[in-house]
Structure 1
Amino acid sequence: MCRSIKTLYNFAPPATDEEVRAAALQFVRKLSGFNSPSKANAAAFDLAVEEIGASARRLIDSLVTTADPRDREEEAAKARERAALRYGHSPVA
């Protein structure tokens, strides 16, 4: 659904509040169809971002796993490789 929303769980270091908020913002934008809401809808939009961000943070903080945390740089390199294969160009460093 939202390709720009990245997995935030089980990384070292853990996801920041800014990353969680960015994911919540992308989710609300997708659901509402607004990139930037009108003044009439701004309060509802902002409240949804805050509530979804708080819910996402609680979820991430409450999940448990026995797997080792993933490395952000390794995952980013894998994503660049997949993009290069998909789009037929060399990955950008």
Structure 2
Amino acid sequence: MCRNIKTLFNFEPPATEDEIYASALQFVRKLSGFNKPSQANEAAFNRAVTEVSDAARKLLVSLQTTAPTRDREVEAEKARERSRLRFG
């Protein structure tokens, strides 16, 4: 799966529109194999990003959990620590 797509659910503050769009863009790039589509494929590519963004937004709104919300800074520090252990 795309390593650059981050978990967006159950964070305080909630995921922003920019974060949802960025994850949709990464997903469509991965599926299509295009980093930047040609002019012939641009409309289909952009439409797919919009549709995936809409689906992701609907998903995030409809999910429920009893787990406490996660803090973005704490999660970012955990990721930095994993990176330090992995890459030195």
Q: Which runs of 5+ in 1 are unaligned?
A: 89-93
Q: Which runs of 5+ in 2 are unaligned?
A: none
Matched residues in 1 for 2:54 and 2:86: separation? 34
Does 2:39 correspond to 1:22?
Answer: no
The percent identity for this pair of structures is 67
Matched residues in 2 for 1:19 and 1:61: separation? 14
Aligned pair count reads 88
2:14 match: secondary structure: coil
Q: How does 1:29-68 map to 2 (within 5 A)?
A: 29-68=29-68
Matched residues in 2 for 1:12 and 1:68: separation? 10
Matched residues in 2 for 1:87 and 1:31: separation? 28
Higher relative contact order (CA 8 A, sep 6+): 2
Matched residues in 2 for 1:47 and 1:60: separation? 20
Matched residues in 1 for 2:49 and 2:25: separation? 5
